[in-house]
Structures are given as C-alpha cells and as structure tokens.
Structure 1
C-alpha cells in the first residue's frame, strides 16, 4: 500500500494549568522514531481519570506550564511505521488499530495524530467493532484484567465455581469485569447496580443482580452465601468504605477485595493506588490482608498489548459486548470544541454512565 499523504500540522486538545479550559493546539506532525507507529486517530474515549488528572494540582506542579493532552483510549489507522519496526513485518500502513496512551504530563488521545512509542499497549482493532466501539475498550478492559488477576486459584476456593462480586457493574470497568469473569474465568458473577441497569447487567452475563437502591447489598450478599461458603473476589468500581464492616464475613482467607477507586467517593479526586497516600487506612488494610487474609489491594491497569490482542480475538468470536452510551462530536473543531468538552466533562462528573462515552476525532 502506498503511504498516505500526511498533513504538515496536527491539532490536539490540550490544557496548561489544572482545571483551566482546554484549548486547541496546532503543532507540526509528530515525528516517527525508528520503533514508533504513527496513528491517525478516528475515535477516542473519556474516562474519570482524565478529569481527575486535568484537575490535579500535583500534575500541574510537575509539568508546570507545559501543554498537557487529554484522553487515554484511541482507535485509528496506521499511517507511518518507524524504519526499525517496519523490518519486523508485524505492522502495515493501513492497519486498523486500538490502544492506550498513558502520559499524564504529555500527549493525550484527543488529537488527530498520535505517535505510539515502544511498550505502549496497541493491537489490531477487532474487525467486528467500529472505530467508536473499539475506542471504548482499552483502558477499562486492561483495568478489568488487573482486577481479576486477584482471583484465588480454583484449589484455594471453597466453591465449586468461583464466585465474584462486581460493585458498579454497569460502569465502564464493571461491564468488563462481569464479562471477563463469566466468559474467560467461568465464574459465578453477582453484579451490584441500580434497578434501571439490572436487566442490562444480566444481559452481560451476571448470574445475580443486586439493586443497591432497594436492597441492602451487604445483607443480600451475606444471605446469598451458598451453604455458608464465602465469596472469592469483591471488585469495587465505586469507592467508599461501607462494605468493610463485612468484608471478612464475605470473603474467605484466600479471597480478595480489589478496588480501582479507593476509600474516596469524589469523582473528581484521583483514585487508584494514589489514594494509599490520601487514605492511610488502606495501607493498614493491605498489610492486614497480606498477613491474615482476605487480601486487599488498590490496583491500576495493565499495559500489555497481548491482552488487547486476546480481547480482539474474543470480540470477533462474539463473546463480548461493547457499550457506548454516546459519541460526542466536534472536540477538535474551532466552533464546537468548548461545547464538546463541557459535554464529556459533565458526563464524567455526574457519573451514571452506562458503558463508555466516546469522542469522535474525524
């Protein structure tokens, strides 16, 4: 395939100081290093972490007035390959790809062109998914894999089929925890969500659904222990501390309570392992769990291309559903950028998103 004609400039959505209005920035096209891949972005996605980083004073202090990008997920088309990487034969110009770009003080994926560096997760896009659907996958599925890696082995479990609880089962990470636990790990899955999302979560594969708005989630889980046997894994995609009054009753010694949020409940405060610093009780909980069980950890996503390749194969086999609630257009247009940003920011701050919010880049 003849290499496409590339423009001389690239437009991105960036910001300088924490919580300041993002603006369009026009730069020369990124240079492709010997082992890099230049991708023309077709779609990106917004995640709570994007809003948390945008408003984080520590990131602002570390990067100063440097322009910082927005967005982690992307899908698009390969338009150039570095000289050394091209020799491998793995990539071709025209390949449709999806991946993750995590550079908190650098570039983001709300950009026309992205230079993917060695070691950053990238894989060929599932053929069965549109660019918009594919862009909704990387960050959340790589986080879900990190959560499910804490499953005890089958020999450590008291249950004939390992039992997993997913709190926040209808959100971006939650829907993948439900699907992977069911389709890849063959677990019995209990989803916790609002009543309006109950059927949706069942359709994803959950064996049981608890409506937190009408049921006492902890009591329902405790009453639902089969023959008194405890659960294997509790995945928290919501935050808070309410369940810690019961976690040793819910989980057996080899089980684990895994959170991607931490004890905090604010949607604009940084979550993940950073909350070990802001909520020291998590450190004590981690140490206690390591010694006595059940284990406790606040996890961050994996950055592994092979996991995206595995998901692409399974998606093309029809094993997964990708849920996009909305596709927001105009993020890189002069006339629509501010409005589009306010819309995606509003989705993240309000929460209650079913699946993912995608940003159209074309």
Structure 2
C-alpha cells in the first residue's frame, strides 16, 4: 500500500458513552517517513485491511459499562475484538521479527482495551506476543469472512483450560449452546474428557450432543440445580464445571456436585451474564469476586476461578491448526453488512444468538 502523507484516515464505529450511541467516525493514525522519502506504518506495526469482524457479548457489556466517570476517563472508544483481513502494510522491524508479509490473509484478536476496535475498515496491529492481541494466517479451510469468527472464542477456551488436567474428567458446561460453550465442548473432547454434560435449549441440544456432550439439561425449564444433582446421583461427581453464560443456580448445593475433596468451578462471566447494566448484575459480579478471593485463600472446599480477559498466553497458532485439521468447528449465527452495524448490535443484545454474528466490512 502506498502512502502519500504522514497520516492515514479510515472509518470505524466508536462511542463515548452508553447514552450517546455508536457512530461511524474518522480514525487517523500517524505514519513514519522512510529514508527514501515515502511513508509507512511504524516499524514495529502491521496494518490490516479488515474484511470481516465478529461481535461478542463482551462488546455489549463494555458499551453498557461506559457510564460516568468511566466514559470520562476512557474517552472515545471502539468496539470489537475478532477480525480477519489482508495485510496491506508492514513496518521494517515487524517484517523481520514475524513470518508475515504484505498481502497475507490473516485472522486476529485485539483486546478490548485497544481504543479503535475491529468494527472498522483497518486496524494497526502490534504483532509482539500479548501486546495489542494476536495474529495468525487465516485458516485455509475457512472463507475470509468466516475466518473472523473464532479467535476470541478459542482464546477464551484456552484461558479457561490452561494448566488444568482435562483427561478422564467429568464436566458440566453451562451454556453449551453458546459460541464458547460449543468450542469448549469440542476442545474437552479432544483432550480426552470422560463425560461431558451441558445446559442447552431444545433448539441447540442436538448440536451440543453432536459436538461431544453425553447429555443436556434444558435450562429453559427453570433452575438447573436438580437436574445437575440427578447427574451425580450415581456417585460420580463432576470434576470441573465451566460456566460460559453466567449462573448462580448451583451454589446452594454445589458441595453435592463435586468430590468431597477438590472440584473446580471456572466462569468467564461470574454469577450473571448480564447484557444490561443493573444493580443486581453489579451485586452478582461482586459476589463472584468475593468467591474468587475466598478460593485463593483456600476458604472454599473447591477451586473457583473467575477469568476476565484473554492475556498472558500465546494461543492463536494452536487454534488455527485445530481449525485447519478439522478438529474445531466455528459456528455462524448471521451476517450483516458494515452499514448494518446497528442491526447486528441489536441482534447481539437480545442474547438469543446461536454462533457468531459477523460484520462484513467488505463484501465477498
């Protein structure tokens, strides 16, 4: 890509607060003058022209949390973590330190704390490990549009499972029909799980079983506690419970679900997977934090882990390999044009999504 000045401007969806709404805005990045008088991205950066980006529930949560004084402290922000696209410019240092080159098709993950997000025409990436995020070549067996669907999901699965012995264990996955739940079930099966059970709606139960769950609990019928207790009535407790959606149903009798000594409960959302900000959702978050602290000091008879964010682990190459080998299948709920962001975001807010919502920044 040829640049003719020391700045480059593109369009991105941004917001300043949850009351001001999301708007399409101009984003300008600074370029560096080269020895030959031309301009390029900073030496350690890569510029990707985004082809597609995937929406995640965390996008709604961060948007809803943008209230005073947080919105005042953070200022204008972007949305989006997952993306796919083509490298259109690469700095000298980045070209030497990575295997990427201009023209490569890539899948990437950008943390929620990078200001401009991925619902944009371009993204400037720092390819160093665990910096802005992670970048890999797009899986060869996915379209470039669908190549945006998997990084955040797989990264979350790896953060939840890293360092945990999964082989020959009995699992309960809360939210088996969610994007992360589906990916987690596939990963647990690959890692040699003995038995996997999951909560799921009647609509997604068949898919969840095809992916590796031995049985499902219909959460639409009410509390999942009694059905979960029935699954351990034969004397075989759950070794690990993974919560992908947010639930506190099990805690009144959770000691009956785990072995007398041990057991692990890991969640990515706490007790409530809220998409709307409320007093009850904030209180449930505080309860999760309290439970996590008690666990860290061994005051609970089981281990409780609250995983917030995807940091401290290099995971993206492993995910690409599993997808290319056909061992990990991403699921797509729907596609929207770049101009239809509001419709896509409203669909995400309903919480009734089976797979990823894809924003097509460029048409195929």
For the criterion TM > 0.5, the same-fold answer is yes
Residue 202 of structure 2 corresponds to 195
> Is 2:137 aligned against 1:124?
yes
- Checking the alignment, whether the CA contact within 8 Å between 2:145 and 2:360 is kept in structure 1 is yes
Match of 2:117 among 108, 132, 149: 108
- Distance in 1, matches of 2:123 and 2:25, equals 14
- Checking the alignment, whether the CA contact within 8 Å between 2:270 and 2:284 is kept in structure 1 is no
Residue 21 of structure 1 corresponds to 21
**Which range moves more in the overlay, 9-18 or 74-83?**
9-18
Superimposed CA distance per residue, residues 104-160 of structure 1 (whole angstroms, 9 cap, x where no aligned partner): 361110111110023221111111111222211111211111222374565xxxxxx
Q: 1:100 to 1:185 in 2, by over 3 A?
A: farther
Residue 295 of structure 2 corresponds to 289
- Distance in 2, matches of 1:327 and 1:307, equals 26
- The alignment partner of 2:99 has SS state of coil
Superimposed CA distance per residue, residues 259-300 of structure 1 (whole angstroms, 9 cap, x where no aligned partner): 111123531239xxx96x864333442244341431112112
Superimposed CA distance per residue, residues 164-192 of structure 1 (whole angstroms, 9 cap, x where no aligned partner): 11111111211111111112354421111
Match of 2:72 among 61, 65, 69: 61
> Is 2:184 aligned against 1:177?
yes
Superimposed CA distance per residue, residues 58-95 of structure 1 (whole angstroms, 9 cap, x where no aligned partner): 531212xx331111111111111111121235111111
- Checking the alignment, whether the CA contact within 8 Å between 1:19 and 1:54 is kept in structure 2 is no
Structure 1: gaps spanning 5 or more residues: 155-160, 332-339
- Checking the alignment, whether the CA contact within 8 Å between 2:12 and 2:26 is kept in structure 1 is yes
- Distance in 2, matches of 1:358 and 1:245, equals 38
Larger relative CO (CA 8 A, sep 6+): 1 or 2?
1
**Map 1:253-332 → 2, pairs under 5 A:** 253-269=261-277, 279-290=285-296, 291=298, 292-303=300-311, 306-331=314-339
- The alignment partner of 1:123 has SS state of strand
- The alignment partner of 1:41 has SS state of strand
- Distance in 2, matches of 1:53 and 1:12, equals 17
> Is 2:73 aligned against 1:75?
no
- Distance in 1, matches of 2:253 and 2:198, equals 17
Q: 1:153 to 1:200 in 2, by over 3 A?
A: closer
Q: TM-score, normalised by structure 2?
A: 0.85
- Distance in 1, matches of 2:287 and 2:78, equals 33
- The alignment partner of 1:348 has SS state of helix
Q: CA deviation at 1:227?
A: 4.2
Residue 350 of structure 1 corresponds to 350
Q: 1:258 to 1:184 in 2, by over 3 A?
A: same
Q: CA deviation at 1:29?
A: 5.2
Q: 1:105 to 1:302 in 2, by over 3 A?
A: closer
Residue 334 of structure 1 corresponds to none
- Distance in 2, matches of 1:260 and 1:348, equals 18
Structure 2: gaps spanning 5 or more residues: 32-40
**Which range moves more in the overlay, 340-349 or 91-100?**
340-349
Q: TM-score, normalised by structure 1?
A: 0.85
Q: CA deviation at 1:234?
A: 0.8
Residue 91 of structure 1 corresponds to 100
- Checking the alignment, whether the CA contact within 8 Å between 1:121 and 1:303 is kept in structure 2 is no
Residue 42 of structure 2 corresponds to 33
Q: CA deviation at 1:304?
A: 6.2
- The alignment partner of 2:147 has SS state of helix
> Is 2:150 aligned against 1:143?
no
- The alignment partner of 1:241 has SS state of coil
Q: 1:27 to 1:147 in 2, by over 3 A?
A: closer
**Which range moves more in the overlay, 251-260 or 69-78?**
251-260
- The alignment partner of 1:258 has SS state of strand
- Checking the alignment, whether the CA contact within 8 Å between 2:166 and 2:192 is kept in structure 1 is no
- Distance in 2, matches of 1:106 and 1:230, equals 44
- The alignment partner of 2:262 has SS state of strand
- Distance in 1, matches of 2:221 and 2:70, equals 40
> Is 2:196 aligned against 1:225?
no
